[in-house]
Chain A
């Protein structure tokens, strides 16, 4: 420890010159430790307050303390929130890690990796893509190129239920455009959109290979052959 430098702090409190002089005198005279002096001081102070000798400063002090406490609590809450978000992201990226490891981190497997991430989240969150870019050593632009090129990928969150209308040729000649119109009417969204409550995402597909049923609507893996407007409504209502 360096000597020769006067201490200007007492238990975390900044002291004026006058105060530090009083303090060192007290310490010398009474031969007590700093904390003992402090405890004694607090005792005196509480006596002083309990006698009601100075009401106003006490309230003021309490208010200050309260404000300080609130401030700290808020800061703490922010930190916890960030911690939680980081924890969640770590977990998510952990899942991404598992997927990447499944393909032994091969650059060739990039599309397969993105497909698995899409299947897990129903969309491709940006941090996940950045992590894939980092781990595989593939440029961010190449990942973006792939994610926007293929229909299977979505860069925005999708609803809890996927509604698909088949626009394959067989469905088309059996009246798929009209079916799509009906579905759009009921859900009040266009193809590619998600409703505000994040319940449904409507997409169109080019042939699901169940042409005997056409025109076909699929809601969360259940197939409906040429449903009427009424049936569509019922199906949508039964989803929640």
Chain B
């Protein structure tokens, strides 16, 4: 491939690609990391072979794409342009799809999405409730792009924003467009991107650096991975435009090594872009030079913090430093360095192409555009959802997410990862944007929405996050290192039934110190999970401390397993699965748990057949005395 020497040549290439695919049927298969956990690779192979076998090679194109968002139902096969959406496709379904849909023009009913509310089968992707309420301006292109194809991206108008910026706009104009659009950083803080760019642009010192932060460390958030896997060129294009606006000629992409496919795809994208003349010297013949390197993160949550990340790029340990001077002014090797998150960069080409006014038409007063959330936990439709800012939590969780599975009751939703907080049911109608979430005592973070139902203990959740953070704290500053350890101690005690009066107040006091005195954002936001759970679920803390009771029946030291004698049907399953042999009672006899031997692992609770439902968890109530051994079961009809 010869380097593209001008925007006209790029446009000609686009027309050539479009002519090539014109009139073809496209099979788009979700083959990202989450798809591959369910054998999507085999589905893809099967399609390639079957199409070959049936001689459809000239009419059909098979694409191995990144995640489309609906992870719960992957692998998903999308037949375009008809938009027929088959869910949960197995390799053995492939020949049927090819012969019935591609050859016969019929729909394979068995593989369609069935709306649980109406029982109706839905053919078109856009009519599935999960997709219907979304606005997928950033993530939506994933389904049209083969993960390894730069030409698929170009066909969709890819790199036209770059051409526009380089040839029709001055760097200042690009900057003011982004500023005007009021794009805010998607990585967590929500800092206005335009202002950050301007700071780096105006800061003294050369060279200037631009960086993509793909160290997506928040557990439960994976939208950045999906973008890097499924549409790496959109991130790259945004980065090059940003570099042009800032006046930078060297960039870095910092990506977690836990995301091997993302590393692979972005590496390939960079090589392709160089080959096509979209990266390197004299980009598109404009005279602008820019190149980028990949830096893999080696697994440390704190290294996603901007100053820590830049230290890591220098080849040293990724620990944060005091930020009296912002990294935008003094970052990598004390040069001005502009860092933005993956999703932020991916928004840039959209703004340049469609303009700030279009961008501002989406979202709320203070937060413009869309945001990708990863909707996970106790929710029916797990997946990545992209919605305009300002949609309510209820709409996201119930209309798109399909609510809580198993008829359980909603308890809270955790946003913002370990630095965020838990939001209770009373806030479900909260419009989600940067400012509203902060007001509610949580934060946007990178966009993880972890739904929790009535079976989740909020003290345990606070303990979980504090444990996570105490392991991830780099230990450089005392408030964070020691504060987290002490908080964890107290929370451990509360969960073990050793909580004391005054513990809650002590937690609050410790939180305050950390908020004021910790060195970096990890420390200052670390108390959020504790404070927000105390704020909204104080009664649960008090139940643990005063009544030695865990209302959600989770904390092991505070619960007892008990077999209801009148429900037990003596099926022997629990007795067989008990690892300590604590369950006695033979054939036809009521099973009894020996509380002395019981380690409360919960195996009996898990295996007791649903139709009997004889094993229960008790907390805060006295355990009834065991029935005399040899008691016969009451048979039920």
Interface residues of A (CB under 8 A from B): 106-112, 114-115, 138, 142, 145-146, 149-153, 167-170, 172-174, 178, 181, 185, 205-214, 216, 223, 225, 229
CB-CB under 8 A for A209 and B259, given A173-B377, A173-B378, A178-B602: yes
Q: For residue B465, give the distance in angstroms from its CB to the closest CB of chain A.
A: 8
**CB atoms of A142 and B296 under 8 A apart:** no
Give 25 CB contacts A-B under 8 Å: A106-B315, A108-B314, A109-B315, A145-B317, A146-B316, A146-B317, A150-B299, A150-B300, A168-B219, A169-B220, A172-B464, A173-B378, A173-B461, A178-B602, A207-B218, A207-B219, A208-B33, A209-B225, A209-B259, A211-B222, A212-B72, A212-B376, A213-B37, A223-B38, A225-B37
Which one of B33, B36, B295, B452 contacts A112 once the chains associate, using CB atoms below 8 Å? Answer: B295
B312 at the interface (CB under 8 A from A): yes
B318 at the interface (CB under 8 A from A): yes
Contacts of A214 in B (CB 8 A): 376
A109→B316 CA distance, assembly (Å): 9
A172→B414 CA distance, assembly (Å): 12
B257 at the interface (CB under 8 A from A): yes
**CB atoms of A152 and B314 under 8 A apart:** no
Contacts of A115 in B (CB 8 A): 257, 296, 298
Contacts of B465 in A (CB 8 A): 169
A168→B220 CA distance, assembly (Å): 6
Which one of A114, A207, A211 contacts B298 once the chains associate, using CB atoms below 8 Å? Answer: A114
A218→B601 CA distance, assembly (Å): 22
The 3 A-B residue pairs with the shortest CB-CB distance in the complex, in nearest-first order = A209-B222, A168-B219, A150-B298
Chain B, Cβ-Cβ closest to A205 = B258
A114→B297 CA distance, assembly (Å): 11
Contacts of A106 in B (CB 8 A): 315
Which one of B38, B300, B579 contacts A151 once the chains associate, using CB atoms below 8 Å? Answer: B300
Count of CB-CB pairs between chains A and B under 8 Å: 126
B531 at the interface (CB under 8 A from A): no
Q: For residue B604, give the distance in angstroms from its CB to the closest CB of chain A.
A: 12
B456 at the interface (CB under 8 A from A): yes
CB-CB under 8 A for A170 and B601, given A152-B299, A206-B468: no
Contacts of B374 in A (CB 8 A): 211
**CB atoms of A210 and B33 under 8 A apart:** yes
A48→B333 CA distance, assembly (Å): 88
A152→B602 CA distance, assembly (Å): 32
**CB atoms of A208 and B601 under 8 A apart:** no
Q: For residue A32, give the distance in angstroms from its CB to the closest CB of chain B.
A: 75
**CB atoms of A149 and B318 under 8 A apart:** yes
Interface residues of B (CB under 8 A from A): 33-34, 36-38, 71-72, 74, 216-222, 225, 257-259, 295-296, 298-301, 312-319, 374, 376-378, 382-383, 414, 417, 448, 450-452, 456, 461, 464-465, 468, 474, 577, 579, 601-603, 606
Contacts of B299 in A (CB 8 A): 150-152
A210→B221 CA distance, assembly (Å): 10
Chain A, Cβ-Cβ closest to B72 = A212
CB-CB under 8 A for A206 and B225, given A115-B296, A146-B317, A174-B378: no
Chain B, Cβ-Cβ closest to A108 = B315
Q: For residue A137, give the distance in angstroms from its CB to the closest CB of chain B.
A: 12
**CB atoms of A149 and B382 under 8 A apart:** no
Contacts of A111 in B (CB 8 A): 295-296, 298, 312, 315
**CB atoms of B312 and A212 under 8 A apart:** no
A59→B121 CA distance, assembly (Å): 99
**CB atoms of A170 and B377 under 8 A apart:** yes
Contacts of A151 in B (CB 8 A): 298-300
**CB atoms of A178 and B222 under 8 A apart:** no
Other than the given A110-B316, A206-B219, 9 more pairs (CB < 8 A) read A106-B315, A150-B299, A150-B318, A178-B602, A207-B219, A209-B221, A209-B259, A211-B220, A223-B36
**CB atoms of B313 and A108 under 8 A apart:** yes
Q: For residue B566, give the distance in angstroms from its CB to the closest CB of chain A.
A: 27
Q: For residue B143, give the distance in angstroms from its CB to the closest CB of chain A.
A: 17
A73→B464 CA distance, assembly (Å): 62
Q: For residue A225, give the distance in angstroms from its CB to the closest CB of chain B.
A: 8
Q: For residue B315, give the distance in angstroms from its CB to the closest CB of chain A.
A: 4
Contacts of B451 in A (CB 8 A): 173
CB-CB under 8 A for A212 and B577, given A206-B217, A223-B37: no
A150→B308 CA distance, assembly (Å): 13
Q: For residue B526, give the distance in angstroms from its CB to the closest CB of chain A.
A: 15
Q: For residue B608, give the distance in angstroms from its CB to the closest CB of chain A.
A: 14
A85→B281 CA distance, assembly (Å): 48
**CB atoms of B219 and A170 under 8 A apart:** yes
Which one of A145, A205, A206, A209 contacts B33 once the chains associate, using CB atoms below 8 Å? Answer: A209
**CB atoms of B452 and A173 under 8 A apart:** yes
CB-CB under 8 A for A181 and B601, given A212-B72, A213-B37: yes
